[in-house]
Chain A
Amino acid sequence: MAVKNLLQAINEALDQKMEDDSRVVVFGEDAGYEGGVFRVTAGLQKKYGEDRCFDTPIAESAITGSAIGMAINGLIPVAELQFDGFVFPGITDIITHMARYRNRSRGRYNLPVVVRFPVGGGVRALEHHSESLEALFGQIPGLKVVMPSTPYDAKGLLISAIEDPDPVIFMEPKRIYRAGKQDVPEEMYRIPIGKAKVVQEGTDVTVVAWGPFIRETQKAMKLLEEKGEKVSVELIDLRTISPIDEETIINSVKKTGRFVVVQEAVKTYGPGAELIALVNEKAFLHLEAQPTRVTGFDITVPLPRGEHFHFVQPERIAAEILKVAKF
Chain B
Amino acid sequence: MLLKNYNPLKGKRLEILDAEGNVINDKLEPKIDKETLLKMYKTMTLGRVADIKALQYQRQGRMLTYAPNMGQEAAQVGAIAAMEDRDWLSPGFRDLDFMLYRGVPLRQVYLYWYGNEWGSHYDEGQKILPINIIIGSQINHAAGLAYASKILKKDEIALAVIGDGGTSHGEFYEGMNFAAAFNAPLVTIIQNNQYAISTPRRKATKAETLAQKAVAFGAEGIQVDGNDVLAMYVAMKEAAEHARSGKGPVLIEAVTYRMGPHTTSDDPSIYRTKEEENEWAKKDPNARFKKYLIDKGYWSEEEDQKLDEENNEFVKQEFEWVEANGAVKLEDIFKYTYGEMTPQLTEQYETHKKFLEENEGK
Residues of A within 8 A of B (CB): 25, 51-52, 56-57, 59, 61-62, 64-75, 77, 92-93, 96-97, 101-110, 141-142, 144, 164-166, 194, 243-244, 246-247
Contacts and interface: CB of A to CB of B under 8 A. Distances in A.
Contact of A62 (B124, B175, B336): B175
A188 to B, nearest CB: 21
Query: Counting chain B CB atoms within 10 Å of each CB, which of A61, A66, A243 scores highest?
Result: A66
A15 B289 CA distance: 56
B120 to A, nearest CB: 5
A103 B338 CA distance: 8
B174 A59 contact: yes
B177 A97 contact: no
Contacts of A101: 130
Nearest to B338: A166
A194 B140 contact: no
Interface string B128-150: 01101010010111111111111
Interface residues of B, number: 45
Given A56-B178, A68-B144, A96-B137, A166 B339 contact: yes
B337 interface: yes
Query: Counting chain B CB atoms within 10 Å of each CB, which of A73, A103, A142 scores highest?
Result: A73
A267 to B, nearest CB: 23
B188 interface: no
Given A59-B174, A102-B337, A69 B121 contact: no
Contact of B337 (A51, A67, A103, A165): A103
B90 interface: yes
B336 A65 contact: no
Interface in B78-111: 88, 90
B118 A73 contact: no
Contacts of A73: 88, 144-145, 148-149, 152, 154
Given A59-B177, A92-B171, A142-B337, A65 B141 contact: yes
Contacts of A103: 117, 336-337
A107 B177 CA distance: 30
B115 to A, nearest CB: 13
B86 to A, nearest CB: 11
A69 B144 contact: yes
Interface string B253-270: 000000000000000000
A71 B124 CA distance: 15
27 contacts: A51-B151, A52-B151, A57-B177, A61-B170, A61-B175, A62-B171, A62-B174, A64-B140, A66-B141, A67-B144, A69-B142, A69-B147, A69-B148, A70-B145, A75-B148, A92-B171, A93-B137, A97-B132, A103-B337, A104-B117, A105-B117, A105-B130, A106-B120, A106-B332, A108-B120, A194-B343, A243-B343
Query: Counting chain B CB atoms within 10 Å of each CB, which of A69, A104, A107 scores highest?
Result: A69
A246 B344 contact: yes
A194 B341 CA distance: 12
Interface of B: 88, 90, 117-118, 120-122, 124, 129-130, 132, 134, 137, 139-152, 154, 158, 170-171, 174-175, 177-178, 181, 332, 335-339, 342-344
B182 to A, nearest CB: 8
A91 to B, nearest CB: 12
A65 B140 contact: yes
A66 B344 contact: no
A109 B149 CA distance: 17
Given A62-B177, A66-B140, 4 more contacts: A61-B174, A62-B171, A65-B175, A144-B338
Contacts of A142: 337-338
A67 B337 CA distance: 19
Given A103-B337, A246-B344, A70 B147 contact: yes
A102 B121 CA distance: 10
Nearest to A108: B121
B152 A75 contact: yes
Contacts of B142: 69
B336 A107 contact: yes
Given A65-B174, A73-B145, A97-B137, A165 B336 contact: no
A97 B138 CA distance: 10
Contacts of A74: 148, 152, 154
Nearest to A106: B121
B339 A69 contact: no
